[in-house]
Structure formats: C-alpha cells, structure tokens
Amino acid sequence: MKRPKYERGYAQRSASLLPGLCHSSIDVMNSSEFRRLWPVGRALFAGRVLVTFLFSLMAWSEAYAAGTGAGVVVPNSVTLEYSQSGLTRTTGATASFFVDELLDVSIVSSDASSIGVLAGETAAVQQYTLTNLGNGSEAFRLTVNDAVAGDDFDSSLNALYLETNGTVGLQVGPGGDDLYVAGTNDPILLSDDFLTVYVTADIPAGLMVDDVALLSLRAIGTTILAGAGTDDPALPAFPAVGTSFPALGDPASTGGGNVAAMVGISYDIATPLYLAQHDFLVNDVGLAITKTAFFVEDPLGGNAVLPGSVVSYRVSVNLVGGGAAQSLVVTDPLPVDVLYVPNSLSVVGLPAGEEADDDLVPAGVDNTGINGETVEVTFGDVTGPLSLTIEYQAIVQ
C-alpha cells in the first residue's frame, strides 16, 4: 500500500530564482516590492508545506473507511433451538449476499495557497492527491482542464506526472516520476489507496501582476468509462449516482464472475468529488542574474588567462513577470586578482541621469561607475519583463 506523500518541490523553485551570482550581488534598496518577494516568500513556502501535511492527513483519515471490500460474501447464520415434550432440538439457516463494488473517488489540491508564477514561466507545478474512496480496485482516467472559466488568463497544460519514484516532489527525466498518458498508464488504486499527481502548466507572457489562472484536474474511474461509454460529466451519458453496471465490478470472492459496480455519491455532478481546481497567481517580479567572462585576450594574442590578459565580463539581469522592482542596484566587486580597465564599462538599460562612465559624479545624480574595485550600476525603478546588461573589462594581475 502506498504511503501518504506530502511533498512539493519548493527547493527547485527557489533554486531557479536564486542563481549562483559568482562575484556579483544584487541590491534592491528601499524596495518594498522586492523585499516582499524573498523573506516573506520563504516563510510562505515553509507554511505551505506544513499546511499541506495537515490537509492530506485529514483526507487520509476520512478516506480510511471505504468499507467492506467489493466481492466479499456476507453470510448470516441463525440457529433455532426448541423442545418438544422436553426433548431439545436445533436447526439453523444461512442467508448471504455479495458486496458490490462502490465507485467513489476523491481528488483534492494539495497546495494550500496559490501557486506563485511568473509570466512566461514554463512547467509551473500543481500537486493533487487522488484517493480511491470506493471499496474495490479501480483505475482512474485523469483529465486536465486548463481553460477553466472565470479567471484572468489560461495556463497551458504541459504534462501530468504520477508520483512513482518514491522521492518527495516532482522529478522529471530518467529515474523521475512517470509521465501520465491517458489510457496507457491510468493509475490503479486499491480501496483507500491514494496517489500524488502533478500537473505542470506553462504560463503565457504579457500578464499583469496578481492575474489568476484556474486549472482543474478530473479523475473518473475507468469502470464508468466502460459502463457508460464516457468519462465526461458534461455529457448526458455520464451516469447518475446509483447507476449499477452489472458484472463490471471486482471479482466475486466465490463462485467466479464479477460483482456489479455502482456509481457512488462522489460522482454527483452537482457536488463533484472527482474534480479539484487550483490557481496560478502571477507574482510581482522575478530577478535572474548571471555573470560570465565572455572573452579573454592574453598578451600574446591568444585566449589564455595569464597575467596581463584582458577579461571581458558580462552581467545579465533579467526581470521576469509583469511587476516592478524599485531602486534596483547591481554591485559587482571585482575578483581580487584583476583590475578594472578604465572606461570599459558599458550598460544597456540605464535610466536618465545615470552615465556609464567610471565616475560617480555628479554625486546623487550619477550613481553608476567604479567605486574602488567594485562596479556599481543603478537601474532605479524598473518594470518587467526586461533584460539589462552590464559589460566591462579587467586585467589579470
């Protein structure tokens, strides 16, 4: 039996937003926008993991009592004792019935709060828990609706994954969780068993901060598909609660054959438990910064790093998402063994007043230049999506 899994891949998400900065650091001063993103963001993630755990635990205990198994025979044996002229006699009889398969399901979002995304993000992850609330073994057909009405935009389904590799969170690729293909690997769950399902979706560009996209995941027992010919609750053929499909249930415990399968209340289209939805929320802004030494010219005309070689550095700052970052300053202390090449600084994306020269004059107006052996570039208030580039050269000592 599968054990509950309460995981979510926050570590991956954090890592993707905090790339290694080499010698660069990024400083956003007086930025209410950006400060909101990090410390609060971390606390939010930590809280979400805890809440998710409690939520799943409740679902588990509720699901524990799916009841007597499908195909079980329940006998009732009565005995009757009587006497006649003082002589005692006993008789007895048994009446039995088979337990039919009850088709019931639960699918719930395992994410307690909105999934923060950035415009243009690919493969944003939502996590769901699929539970077989029926009393038999059942395969489930999973369907995603990425065009739920009533929201600000639509995400685009990327892929569905089943938690199969036993490692917390979604892992993609060799040794990772299984990609779900409808009709090929519909997950089979025993009664009361449950499974973590991951939905990944792509977020379009050009969104406003706080825009919301709803996505829903549906899980329908394949017995319903076999008995009614559809797993789409919007179609008239979708069965009503109480519909019984003869011989489509689990095998009977005795006598061969299969018991009937009955549609349970979780498939009531008015109060569906076979469907859950969750939202993607567009975050303010995300910053990605990378630094590369993109060209080296040594004194001999080659490309080796030698004393006297000139190294060309490029710092790329990307704002993703549609939000604003206020008072964005990039500071890049040079490595200890190199010296800045005067007048080599060039910057794409400087605001008015800032100059890509070496000095910091006039003070308070031009805050971009070389301060000791540190490159300082002030971009001020910027709105994403935006790409900013800083390039300069240094001589290896």
Does 248 engage in binding with other proteins (CB under 8 A)?
A: yes
CA angle (336 as vertex; 334, 337 as ends), nearest 5: 105
* 323/116 Cα distance (integer angstroms): 13
Neighbours of 307 (CB within 10 A): 10
**What is the C-alpha separation between 312 and 336, in angstroms, rounded?**
16
For other proteins, which is the closer residue by CB, 245 or 340? 245
Contact with other proteins (CB under 8 A) among 20, 39, 64, 91: 91
Q: Least distance in Å: CB of 100 to other proteins?
A: 5
228 binds other proteins (CB under 8 A): no
Residues 120-179 that bind other proteins (CB under 8 A): 135
> In this complex, which beta carbon is closest to other proteins, that of residue 68 or of residue 346?
68
Indicate the residue among 65 and 149 with the shorter CB distance to other proteins.
65
β-pairing verdict for 275-282 and 115-117: parallel
97 binds other proteins (CB under 8 A): yes
Q: Binding of other proteins at residue 84 (CB under 8 A)? A: yes
Whichever of 104 and 111 has its CB closer to other proteins, that residue is 104
Instruction: Specify the residue, 80 or 234, whose C-beta has the smaller distance to other proteins.
Output: 80
Question: CA geometry: angle at 232 spanning 227 and 233, to 5°?
Answer: 95
Among 13, 34, 52, 101, binds other proteins (CB under 8 A): 101
DSSP string, 35-73: HHHTHHHHHHHHHHHHHHHHHHHHHHHHHT---SPTT-E
Q: x/- contact string, 250-289, with other proteins (CB under 8 A)?
A: --x--xxxxxxxx-x-------------------------
Dist. CA 67–CA 235, nearest whole Å: 30
Question: Among residues 77, 149, 184, 363, which is the contact residue for other proteins, using CB under 8 A?
Answer: 77
Pick one of 10, 45, 60, 98: the residue that binds other proteins (CB under 8 A).
98
DSSP secondary structure code for residue 184 in this structure: T
> Of these, 1, 93, 234, 270, which contacts other proteins (CB under 8 A)?
93
Quote the Cα angle for 135-170-233, to 5°.
Answer: 45
The 8 Å CB, 24+ separation contacts for 243-250 are: 244/100, 248/101, 248/223, 249/70, 249/71, 249/100, 249/101, 249/136, 249/223, 250/69, 250/70, 250/71, 250/101, 250/136, 250/137
Residue among 145, 165, 244, 318 that touches other proteins (CB under 8 A): 244
Structure tokens at 347: 């910057």
Applying CB under 8 A, among 30, 61, 64, 76 the residue interacting with other proteins is 76
**Least CB distance to other proteins at residue 209 (A):** 48
Interface residues toward other proteins, by CB under 8 A: 65-68, 72-102, 135, 244-249, 252, 255-262, 264
